[in-house]
Structure 1
Amino acid sequence: MSEHLKSIVEQLNREPFKKNFNLITFDSLEPMQLLQTLNDVLAEIDPKQAIDIREEMPEQTVRRMCALLGMLKYKLPGNQSDVNSFRQGLVTGSKPVVHPILHWLLQRVPELKKRAYLARFLCKLEVPAEFLQDDVIIDTYHQYEELVEEFKAYHKECEHLRTSGFSTAEIRRDISAMEEEKDQLIKRVERLKKRVESVSNHQQMLDQARLLRVEKERAESLAHQKQEQKNQLFQAEQRLLRSQQQLKDLRQAAADASPESLMKRLEEEIKTNSYLVSEKQKELQGTRRTVHYLQKVASEPEPSQADLQELKDKIKAVDSQINQLIEKKMMRNDPIDDKLTLYRQQASIITRRKEAKAEELQEAREELAAAERELRQRTSQTHTADGAEVIRGDELKHLVGRLRSKGTVYKKNRQQIAELRAEYGVLQRTEEVLKQRFETVQDKLRRLEAEKGISGYSDTQDELENASALKNDLDEKKARTLDDMSEMVKKLNSVIAEKKSVVAPIIKELRPLRQRYQELIPEYEEKKAQYESCAAGLESNRSQLEQDVKALREETAQRENRYHHINCMTAIIEMQLQRAAEETKAYVSSDPQERKKTVREVYMKNISEQELLGKKLREEQKMVRESHAENMEQMELWRDLEKLMECKKKCLIEAQNQASVGQVIQDEGKDMLLL
């Protein structure tokens, strides 16, 4: 609690409260002053709460504070589970009630500010049902709900923009850069206009360029439409192939199958599909639960550090409890649990096998579909041009002859291709020479146009001619494309009509089988319900018997543990009694050697030895105390002697140094005199 008080005082002394409290002054506040402090904190969170509580009735104050705390999702502590006692403590300004509220609020001021701001717009008004009978009120209420949803969307967008990293300075820089680019583009357009105005019939050229751009856009749209129609044609062909395959499968099934075999096959498919659907539903339910938990976590407010620490502590406590339970289970070694563990393992193995087989079945179905598609492709490839299949036999020789004749044709064509390639090389060289000549002629033409003042006339003329030629090509392609599409649609309609006429009798044959299947479903459901009820009854009886046996085994194990514990305690007490009897016998014995072995004699001997040792140590301590002063004086004398010897040593070293210096000076003087 002292830590909470310290944190409350620290938060109140900071911005924006500036209360200048310490622990003593805060703890000595009157109830009314404590309530006013709480109201100031609430006013910082919600400005509507800025009221002097002396001007308000206590009931109104408590009602207002409780409403705001409920909106902020304040949870009562464990020791304040009673709401009436909480309200009474809030009215009287009780410290055990107000201090936890202050601690909770001051730890989450920014988060609670945001929640209070949103609550003003998101807390919906509760309109009684009798008032919602009027159309005007209903429309107004719907409009109010729409405005609330719009506010949610705008608030989310605002928060996203705040956290996206964009700043006003960057936006302003981008706007200024775009304005500069805009000015540059305007200047370039003006320069181009000035350059074009000097050319004759420039308006016609601009019109032609505009028409060319429109035609290009139209050509792109036509190409896009053509691609879309190709895709639709491909999809129609795929649907046609699927329908043909289904028709073929249905014919085969109708040819070599009886109603009993069809029903059996349908039942097997229904069972496998129902199992696969149930497994997928389980996975979907697990995914939905996960999504629900994640949405629940996302909708909750952002936890503070204290909440995270509390959750970590709870997780540690639960982990420790789990470990303890696991240790108890391992120590108990219940045989029933061992048997159930075996059954559980077998059940898990069977479940995994079922899942693996279901996956293998799904993969096998996919492989079968792929093999069927490949078979259809291969069969379509093995058909000849007239639609008949290739057969082996005499026709093989005919095919070999045809291949040989085609081989001779291939050789002739290859020789012609070689000749054409040689001619192509000559023509390519000729084209290069002509291009060089054309470039020289073009240069001369440009110089003449520049001299005459009509530069660019020939280029414009070429562009116009190219544009007109391109337009003609596009018109021709468009006409051909429309004709092809109309013919293709007619063919598809005729093919679809033929397939419908072929499939109609098969559908008529399938209808009584479906009716029979619908009649058998109720009987199947009834038998299934009977089986499930019987199985549930047997399972409940078996579980009850297992619980009874488990309880009896636990009771037996507890009594066996108690029996072994009592036996161990009895053995320990007997050993203690035996040792006590031996001690008494040795103590009473007349043999001195036996008496020395007793515990009392051993302890007495140790005590006497320790007493002698203590006496000896006390004597040594007394001698040390008596000689302490003399020893200290002698130590001081030795220290003085050591200092004196150090001083003499220094003096001797200095005298030797001076003598060596004087000798050097004399030697130098003699040398100078000799010179």
Structure 2
Amino acid sequence: MATLLKEIVDHLNAEPFHMNLTLVTFDEKQPIELLETLNAILVHLDGKKHEVDVREENQDNMYVRMAGFLHVIGCKANYDEEFQKSFVAGDKRTLYPIIHWLLSDLERLRKRAYLAHYLVPIDVPPEFLGDEAMMEMYQQYKGLQAQFKSNHQALEQAKETSTNPSELRKELQQLEAEKEQLQQKIASLQSKTQNKEGFDALLEVTSSLRKEQEEEARIAEKIREQRVQLEQAEQQYMLSTQRLAELKSSIKDSDAGAETMLKVLRDEVNRNRENLERYRREVDEKKDRLHTLEATLSEPPVSQVMIRDLESQVAGLRDEIQTLEDRLEEDANQTDDKLTVFKQQANLVGKKKEIALKELKDAEHERSELSQRLSDREREYEERRGHKFLRKDEFKQYAAELREKTAKYKEMKADLNEIRQEVATLTRTEQILQQRDERLAKTVAELEAKRGVAGYQTTERSLEEISAHKAQVDKSKEVQLDELSRIVTEITNQLKDKKNQLAPQIKNLREVRAQFQELEAKYNEKKGAYNSVQLAVDSDLSRLRHEVETLQAECDDAESRYHQHNVDIQTAEALLERANKEAKYQRGEGRYSKEFATLSALLTNKLNELDLHSRDLRKQQKEVKENQEPRMKQREMFSVLQRLLDVKLKTAGQEAGGMRTTGESFRAGGGAVMDMAGQAQGVNRLIITE
């Protein structure tokens, strides 16, 4: 935490904040002061949105503003209720990491905040995108975003590659000088290689190698372009196969009907229109790019006069900008003087609003407490009495419902008694009839047995049941067949009507398809012409770029050699100057210093001193080598002595403790004291001999 605080304070004391803080003053800041510091950082990142007084701003609005901005620029946090509470309360554990993260990469976050104004997507509900105007506007918005991205990238590249006119002038002068040097070198090389054998063959081989390398680069560029075209063709093939599958599924689906076919055709027409618009936009963009490339190729080269004119124009524009900024500052000071009264009134209104909101919060808190107490009392009543406490209106409603339920209960009870009586009567009747049926069945079976037709009655009964069931099945089949015939006739009539309605639309669709095919043919023709022109332009550009890179590499090589020669020349001149001075000093025309007449005398003196010092070091080395073994033995003996003394000290301490305990025991028992003087006064001696 200390290192985190130190880094935060260092960043806040540096540009552009200059807060002049210390670790103690920053750590003693109140929560509202920490929020003000965070808001100052956010103002530096995005001044348009965060120039707000934190003390007068509502806490919810402040959290929405700051947390939303932090989320957009990529600050990693939970953004839950606990984070909101700690953030609004100004908790140091929450705000310190955020402030450190913002200050650690300030310029990148400032650029990201600037880009967020234009590149953060707008969430549009899907139901609104069904409208054609809204969809067109949304597509236009996406196109503008893409254009902004490309323009911003181009601007960044231009900033990285742009140079100062003075530097360009110097580079031009240097290039001209190097050009002259290269021409001289070429002339010298030609004069050297005129009479050499095999040089023409070597030159021919190197030129053919260079041509082959250029051809290889051109072929690689063509391969890349053909791969891009292959990807586009594969995408077109996938779209065509998907469209064919949709048409086949719509044709095979017999339940879909004409409406589904019409819907599919409309979707296809809309898709074709969108593709046509997209192709037109692409063609327009390619044409614009081609015009810009042609214009850049046709422009004359930049001269020194044009550079001077541009520099003068830039200086004049800077002066105008400075005067306009001064006027804006004066106008801002005047408007600030006029708005002080309104600001004071706004502050008073804000304070009154805070007081009213505080009173409202207190009233809401009191209301919630009273409702909580009321619910607790009702819960206690329900636990004691077994039912919920009823008010007067609720009790009246409960009594009315109870009377209605009692009346219904009596009516249903009387109906139930009547039904039970009737059920008992019917049950008795059924029993009597079953008994009669059993007796009659027995009688009929006996008669059938006597007549020789046993089982005739059961067979007849089963035949009657089968015939009745067959009649019911035939009747249901007849009804179903009539319904099916009616449905079939309705479907055929509907199909005829839909075909008659769709006939003009299908005719229009055929015309639109013919127009689309014509436009597609024209588009393919234009696209082929454009691709051919683009290939030619790209090949020329790649060739020119390769030549420029080759010349640049040669220039860089020549420049490095030029600088190396300059350094060598300066070194040689310095040595030559020192040698000339030394010659003058030796002739007696001057002195090198007060102590030495010449440089050679100084160097001779230093060599003598170094020789003496090296002799002393050799003597010391010899002495160390000779005394190394006895000194190492002595060191080992001293280490052994130290260990023996440590053991002796430990043993003496243990003996002293034992004597103390024995003396106390003898004194307690009244026994004779034992003379330990001889043993206590004994001394162990260690003799070290060399």
Tell me, yes or no, whether TM beats 0.5: no
By relative contact order (CA 8 Å, sep 6+), the higher-ranking structure is 2
TM normalised by structure 1 equals 0.26
TM normalised by structure 2 equals 0.26
